[in-house]
Structure 1
Amino acid sequence: MYVNISLDGTAEYTAQYNARGMEGTHTESLVSRLATIRDRLEAGMDRREFLRTLVTGGYALGVAQFLGVDDFLAADDGEVPIVTALVRPDPEDPWSLEERTRTVPATWYASVTKAFELNELLARTAFTGYLGSAVVPGSYERGTASVSVGVSSSFDSIRETFDRLVDGVSLDVETITDIDEIEDGYDGFEPRFVDSVSSAEIPSGVACETPGSIATLGPVMYDPNTRQEFFVTAEHAFGAGADPTTDRLSLPVAGAETVELGSVEYAHPVEDIVAVAPGNRYRPSNTIDTPTPARIRGQFTRLGLADLIARDETLEKVGAVTGHTTGTIQGIDAVTCFTDEFCRRGQIRWGGEMDLTDGDSGSVSYHADPESDDRDVLVAGFNNARTWWPGQSYVWGVGAYRLTDVYGYYF
C-alpha cells in the first residue's frame, strides 16, 4: 500500500520512529526546529529578526548555510533563489561547470524542503514494512509538497507509528498487490544497434553488450577527481555483478562484428551503474542518438527536478529497445527497497512501465535545456527498472545529482 503524507508549507511536525524490529520514540529536534523556522520565515519574518532567531535558537551561521536558509536572506520577500542545474558554459570544455539558479516562491521552497527532510527521516528509520518513499512537489501556485510512502504490511498495524511520525499531517492510503512477482520483458522489440563506427565517438541511446546481456549505452560520465571520461551503463546488466578485474563492455554493430569499448573501472551496484574506462580506439560522447541528435550540456540538481515537477514539465529517454519516449515525473529523491536487501537512494520516478523494458536499462532521462539551443539537453538521471505490480506504473533509476553527491561524477 502507499501512504501520501501531505505537507502544505504551514504544518509543523515532531518526528518519532519505529525502527525495524524495535518500537520506540526519538524526537528529531533539528527537523522540527527547521520546520518552525521556515514557517516563520514564509509568514513574513524580518531578516534581522530571523538572524536573531537563529542565534538564540543555537544555530551557527555555518549550519544555517548548510540548511539553505541563507537563501531567504539573499532573496526578495516571498521568493528564494535555488540552484536548478550544473551546466557547462563552454560545451567543448567538459570540466567547466557553473550553477544555474532560478527564483521560486518561499512557501513552495519551505514545503519541498520539509518533504525532503521527512523523506530522509522515513528512510533512516525504515520501520517494519517500509518499501520506499518519494517526494512529490506541488505547483508553485499551491506551494505544497507530499511524500508518497510504500509499505508491504497492513496499514492498520503501523498506523500508530505513522501518527507519531507525521503528527498533524494527513495520510492518503493506496494498496498495491503482487509485488513479489516480476513479469518478463515485452515481446516484439528488437535492440537498436549503431549502423557503423566510422567515428571514434560513440553516442548514447544505442545497444551495448555485457558478457551476459544487452543494455543501453549511457552518455559520457565525467570524474572531475581523476579527469577521466567513462562509458556507462546499468550494473545489473552484468548478471551476478560487474567485476572490475575481468569484465568488459562491447558495442554490437549492425551487419558487422562487435567492437570492444573498454573495461569496467568501477562498479556501483547500489546505484546500479558501471563506469567503463575507454580503450585506445573509441571514446564516449555527450550526444544522444535521436532523429535530431541531442547534446548534453549538464544535469539537474535535486531542486531542479522539483522545479520541473512544479512547472508540469516532462522527461524523455532513448532506450536501445523501446526507443524515444516521454513521460511525467512522478517523484524525486525516492528510496526504493523493492528488489534487493538494500535500499536505493536518490531515485527518480517518471513515465510509465511501458517506457522501459529489458535492454533499456542504462539509458538516461533528460529534458531540454531552456537556456540553450534546441539540441542541448540536461540529464535528470538513469533508467534502471520499472514497476511490475498493479496500481503503480513508472520507471525508476538513480538521479544524476545523487551520483555527484556520492562519487563526484557528472554528465
Structure 2
Amino acid sequence: MHVLGEQQGKAVTDEAEPESADRGEKSGVSVRRRRLLRTGVNLGASAAIVAGFGADYVASRDLDTITYAMARPGPGSATLEPRTKEVPVAWHEGLRLAFEAQERIKQTGAQSLVGSFVVPGSYDSPAATLAVDATDESVADTLADLTGEVPIAMNLVDELPAEPEGTFDRSDVYQVPDLPDGRVPGGVACETDAGVGTLTPALYDADGARFFGTSNHVFGGGGTMTTEHRGEPLAVLHADGPRAVGSVARGYPTADLVRVAPDDGFRPQSAVERASPRRVVGQYTKFGLADLMARGEPLTKVGSVSDRTTGRVEGINGVTCYTGTSCKLGQLKWGGQNDIVDGDSGSVNFHVDPEHPDEGVLVGGLNNARTWWPRADFSWGTAAHHLLDEYGFHF
C-alpha cells in the first residue's frame, strides 16, 4: 500500500514494507497497531432493483463499457433506461480496484476514520486513489491490510469541532412567483417549523409514485429522525406567503433525505427552477460521476439562498461520519465549501444530459452539508445512485 499526503507535518509515505503487529517507529512517531471497528453503520448489500437493473447497472464484466446514467426514455415516463459509453480499460480497471478497496474499508470500519472517498483518475492518468480523513494516524495500519496497491491520500485532522450555527436573511431566499396548476419544481425554498431548505425536483419510488423531498435535517434533529416527524407539513415559500404542499411520510437519516407526500392539488415537477435547461431526465451512476471527474466536467446546483454555483467532482462512493449520529454511505463530494450555504440543503447537483444538452439535466446527488474544519474545502451529500440502490428512489 502507498499512503500519500502529510499528517501534522510528518510525511506518511509508506513503501511496501512488511506489516507486523507492531510497526515501531515511523516518521518519528511510535505507531501501535489497533483493531478498530465502527458499529452503527449498515453495510448490507443493496437490494433495490429498478427496471431490471441492479446496484451497479453494469450488465457484464466488459471493462470497455460502463452504464453512465439511468434516464427516462421520454417526457412523462417514470421508468429508467440505461445509458452506456466506452471508456479506457485501464481507467475502468483502476476504478474497479478502488471500489473494491473502499468496500473493504467500509466492511471493517475504523473508529478514527471519519471520511473515505474514491477519487477516480483521468483518462491520461488512469489510476484511482482513496482520499481518507482520520483523527488518528494509527488508522493507516488498518488500511494497509485492506487496500492492497490502491494509493491512499490520508489527511489527519484533530477532533472535528462543533458545526458553526449558520444564519441567513430570509429576504434573500428565492420565493417561487407562481405555482401553475399546483406544479412545484425543485430548487425553490421550502419551510418547516425548524428551518428553511431547498426542495428537490420530483423523486419517484419503485412503483413510479412521485413525492417531494428535501434534506431530513431541515426538520431538525440533525437529520436523525425516521418517523418522529411524520405528518409534519412542508411549505413552499411563495410570493403570497408559505404554501403547504405536503406532509412528511418518513425520514431517511443515513441518506439525510425526507419523503414528503404531496397534498391534494400539488404535484412535484421533474424540473429545477432557474436551471437551464430545467427538465430533469434522470441521474448519473457512480461510473457516470467517475467519468465526469475523469473528463474535468463540472456539476452545478441551484439553491434557494445561494442560487447557482458550479464545481468539479472531488470524490465518489464515499462514507462520511462528519455529521449526525450515524455514518452515511453512497456520498458524493464536489466543489468547495462555499458552493452551498444554509438554506441550500436539499438542493441537487446536476450536469446537462450529454446526449441532449439543450433538453435536460442528469442529477448527481443531494447537497446536504459542507466542510467547516481546517484543511478541507468541499460540499457533499448522498449520491442519486445510492438512493436508487438502497431505497428504490430516483429522480
**TM-score, normalising length: structure 1:** 0.79
Task: Report the more deviating stretch, 239-248 or 129-138.
Answer: 239-248
CA distance in 2: counterparts of 1:356 and 1:374, whole angstroms: 25
Instruction: Give the counterpart letter for 1:183 in structure 2.
Output: P
Matches within 5 A, 1:11-410: 19-20=35-36, 70-72=60-62, 80-95=64-79, 97-153=80-136, 155=137, 157-168=138-149, 170-177=151-158, 179-185=160-166, 187=168, 190-225=172-207, 227-240=208-221, 241=225, 243=228, 245-254=230-239, 256-290=240-274, 292-410=276-394
Query: Does structure 2 conserve the Cα–Cα contact (< 8 Å) formed by 1:178 and 1:389?
Result: no
**Equivalent position of 2:49 in the other structure:** none
CA distance in 1: counterparts of 2:156 and 2:36, whole angstroms: 21
Relative to structure 1, is the Cα distance of residues 21 and 141 closer, same or farther in structure 2, using a 3 angstrom cutoff?
Answer: closer
Instruction: Give the counterpart letter for 1:279 in structure 2.
Output: D
CA distance in 1: counterparts of 2:201 and 2:363, whole angstroms: 9
Task: Kindly state the Cα deviation for residue 174 of structure 1 after the two structures are TM-superposed.
Answer: 3.1
CA distance in 2: counterparts of 1:124 and 1:223, whole angstroms: 28
Query: Does structure 2 conserve the Cα–Cα contact (< 8 Å) formed by 1:316 and 1:366?
Result: yes
Instruction: Give the total of aligned pairs.
Output: 349
CA distance in 2: counterparts of 1:66 and 1:194, whole angstroms: 37
Task: Kindly state the Cα deviation for residue 187 of structure 1 after the two structures are TM-superposed.
Answer: 4.9
Unpaired runs of 5+ residues, structure 1, are 6-10, 23-64, 73-78
CA distance in 2: counterparts of 1:232 and 1:171, whole angstroms: 35
Relative to structure 1, is the Cα distance of residues 92 and 358 closer, same or farther in structure 2, using a 3 angstrom cutoff?
Answer: same
Could you report, residue by residue, the CA deviation over 1:173-221 in whole angstroms, capped at 9, with x for unpaired residues?
4333462232233656721111122332111111011121111011000
Determine helix, strand or coil for the equivalent of 1:365: strand
Relative to structure 1, is the Cα distance of residues 94 and 389 closer, same or farther in structure 2, using a 3 angstrom cutoff?
Answer: same
CA distance in 2: counterparts of 1:260 and 1:229, whole angstroms: 17
Whose helix fraction is larger, Structure 1's or Structure 2's? 1
Question: Which is greater in Rg?
Answer: 1
Relative to structure 1, is the Cα distance of residues 359 and 275 closer, same or farther in structure 2, using a 3 angstrom cutoff?
Answer: same
Task: Kindly state the Cα deviation for residue 169 of structure 1 after the two structures are TM-superposed.
Answer: 5.0
Task: Report the more deviating stretch, 259-268 or 234-243.
Answer: 234-243
CA distance in 1: counterparts of 2:195 and 2:70, whole angstroms: 33
**Equivalent position of 1:35 in the other structure:** none
CA distance in 1: counterparts of 2:174 and 2:271, whole angstroms: 16
Query: Does structure 2 conserve the Cα–Cα contact (< 8 Å) formed by 1:331 and 1:348?
Result: yes
Relative to structure 1, is the Cα distance of residues 168 and 223 closer, same or farther in structure 2, using a 3 angstrom cutoff?
Answer: closer
Relative to structure 1, is the Cα distance of residues 238 and 80 closer, same or farther in structure 2, using a 3 angstrom cutoff?
Answer: same
Determine helix, strand or coil for the equivalent of 2:66: strand
CA distance in 2: counterparts of 1:372 and 1:405, whole angstroms: 25
CA distance in 2: counterparts of 1:302 and 1:172, whole angstroms: 20
CA distance in 2: counterparts of 1:92 and 1:238, whole angstroms: 30
CA distance in 1: counterparts of 2:270 and 2:349, whole angstroms: 14
Determine helix, strand or coil for the equivalent of 1:112: helix
Query: Does structure 2 conserve the Cα–Cα contact (< 8 Å) formed by 1:87 and 1:98?
Result: yes
Instruction: Give the counterpart letter for 1:121 in structure 2.
Output: R
Unpaired runs of 5+ residues, structure 2, are 6-15, 22-32, 39-54
Could you report, residue by residue, the CA deviation over 1:36-79 in whole angstroms, capped at 9, with x for unpaired residues?
xxxxxxxxxxxxxxxxxxxxxxxxxxxxx99969433xxxxxx6
Relative to structure 1, is the Cα distance of residues 348 and 21 closer, same or farther in structure 2, using a 3 angstrom cutoff?
Answer: closer
Determine helix, strand or coil for the equivalent of 2:249: strand
Aligned sequence identity (%): 38
Instruction: Give the counterpart letter for 1:220 in structure 2.
Output: A
CA distance in 2: counterparts of 1:21 and 1:372, whole angstroms: 46
Relative to structure 1, is the Cα distance of residues 371 and 128 closer, same or farther in structure 2, using a 3 angstrom cutoff?
Answer: same
C-alpha RMSD of the superposition = 2.7
CA distance in 1: counterparts of 2:56 and 2:377, whole angstroms: 35
Could you report, residue by residue, the CA deviation over 1:124-164 in whole angstroms, capped at 9, with x for unpaired residues?
211231112000001112221001111111x1x34433333
Determine helix, strand or coil for the equivalent of 1:294: coil
Task: Kindly state the Cα deviation for residue 236 of structure 1 after the two structures are TM-superposed.
Answer: 0.4
Determine helix, strand or coil for the equivalent of 2:279: strand
Query: Does structure 1 conserve the Cα–Cα contact (< 8 Å) formed by 2:134 and 2:154?
Result: no
**TM-score, normalising length: structure 2:** 0.82
CA distance in 2: counterparts of 1:366 and 1:236, whole angstroms: 21
Relative to structure 1, is the Cα distance of residues 111 and 291 closer, same or farther in structure 2, using a 3 angstrom cutoff?
Answer: closer
**Equivalent position of 2:10 in the other structure:** none
Could you report, residue by residue, the CA deviation over 1:302-328 in whole angstroms, capped at 9, with x for unpaired residues?
111111111111100000000000001
